[in-house]
Amino acid sequence: MQHQAPQEIVIIGGGTAGWMAANLLAHQWRSHGTQIMLIESSDIGIIGVGEGSTPYLRQFFHRLGIQESEWMPACNATYKCGIRFPGWSTQPGYEQYVHPFFNQEDLKVGSELFTNARLRRRGTAAQANPQDFFIAAELARQRKAPFYLPRSDDRPAPATDYAYHFDSGLLGAFLKGHASKLGVRHRLDTVARVELSETGDIAHLLMHSGAIVKAELFLDCSGFKGLLINEALGEPFVSFKDNLFNDRAIAIPSSLNEEEDIPSETTSTALRNGWVWQIPLSSRYGNGYVYASDFASPEKAETELRQHLGAAAHNKEARHLKMRVGRVEQHWRNNCLAIGLSQGFIEPLEATALMLIQFSVDLFIDQMEASQFSRSRQAQFNRRINQMFEGVRDYVVGHYQLNTRHDSDYWRANRAHRHISDRLASILEVWDQGGDFEAELTRHGEALMYIRPSWYCLLAGMGRFPADLKPLSTEQRAELMSGEQARAALTDTVTQFYGHRQYLQLLK
């Protein structure tokens, strides 16, 4: 039977999750007569921390027809070529590594990493630090933007992939303005009570103002509180605490050096009881310490962060945040869809928060339309979103399993625990035993969430290789590309790119 698109949608909660969802749904369904209202409480503030994305966010803006020159200056945004991880490994030559975004020009030099890593994990001393083999890593090292300078010939510039850094509070405000242009209504009010129907659907919301709010579809974007999905509908929450220990964060801003170019990468630096993000915005740095309360008190963690930042953090306010790491069992239950922190959260190590929001809304739209706006694909939707959460979790857990630090109980416990999925355990075993790693990755398919180069960057970047290595033969030395040779080739290429600050100025 042909169903009609939801005519009334109510979103509870603003912030990035609420306004991203509002924009996507309004853009897709306003031609169907869908009316959307976003309700948020004036009592709940938005924390404008520096945040990073994956390249998937580019599709969001492209879908909405929003140009970078329109949103990036408004959100103090910068370009992101990847993430650098100092201090996670103590292996000589692998004390830091890079997870870059991948480009067409990596096909030649980057493929050398796979060859070298294969040899090294099978006992031969080939050079295999990913930061030497990918163009995005060299762009970030030289603080370049991921865009070529104008060429004198007619050759098209090869595609380069990238993501963004931005002020999350400013992005939420920008998306709010864009949503209003699409007809999304905004209301300040607070939910006092949620009334359910006999079928278990949300019948209506009773607001503190006395208003009764009805809709065909409700989106829960209320954050960790899970006002609709958890509190009203009682949807169980699956904690990831047994394999991701971090449950707290502290955010402190710091100033940029105006005389230097702006970095084009996120830095995730390991400290004694967690790790510190540093995200370069066009106006400042966003810094934050992600740590586990079982290993450090808030006071100890703040002291550790301030010592790491030095004078840059002097007299800067610290914001202490609690994180609920895990996911709900069902993200779409009855007539309620949980989006953002209400549906789940994996610590921000790989900047996946907005990707999970965007993917969830995109898939919801696809499944609704494919089922003629029925709920027949609800179970299929929930399975796929859970698969995505589990795949991201495996990759993030891999960072901790592979650490080689010995300076604190925190890092030893992260390495020693065996609460990992069978999939991750199998991937590590095949790598360690020198097996067919490509076949192993292919076997797991889309459940991995991360592509082949990402897994190579993680395992090779951490220096996960045998301790005893035989030297390269004369023939191998002649055939293989060393790290120095790879860096030299990439350095020549990177001279053809804009400086980061230079390109950002062109957007204004």
Residue that has been written with the tokens 């924390």 in this structure: 47
Greatest distance between any 2 Cα atoms in the chain: 82
H helices present in 66-165, as ranges = 68-71, 106-121, 135-141
CB 459 within 8 A of CB 86: no
CB 253 within 8 A of CB 287: yes
Could you give the CA distance from residue 321 to residue 376 in angstroms, rounded to a whole number? 38
CA 187 vs. chain centroid, Å, equals 29
Is 80 annotated as catalytic? yes
Query: In 258-296, which positions are buried (b, 16+ CB within 10 angstroms) versus exposed (e)?
Result: eeebbbbbbbbbbbbbbbbbbbbbbbbbbbbbbbbeebb
Could you give the CA distance from residue 56 to residue 355 in angstroms, rounded to a whole number? 6
Closest CA to 81 of 498, 506, 450, 383: 498
DSSP 8-class letter at 281: -
Catalytic residue among 80, 108, 144, 241: 80
Q: What value, to the nearest 5°, has the Cα angle with vertex 269 and ends 60 and 82?
A: 35
Residue that has been written with the tokens 């030559």 in this structure: 93
Cα end-to-end span (Å), the chain: 51
Phi, psi values for residue 84, rounded to 5°: -105, 140
Neighbours of 338 (CB within 10 A): 29
Torsion of CA 450, 455, 456, 459, to 10 degrees: 160
Burial label, 42 (beta-carbon count in 10 A; 0-12, 13-18, 19+) = exposed
Q: List the catalytic residues.
A: 80
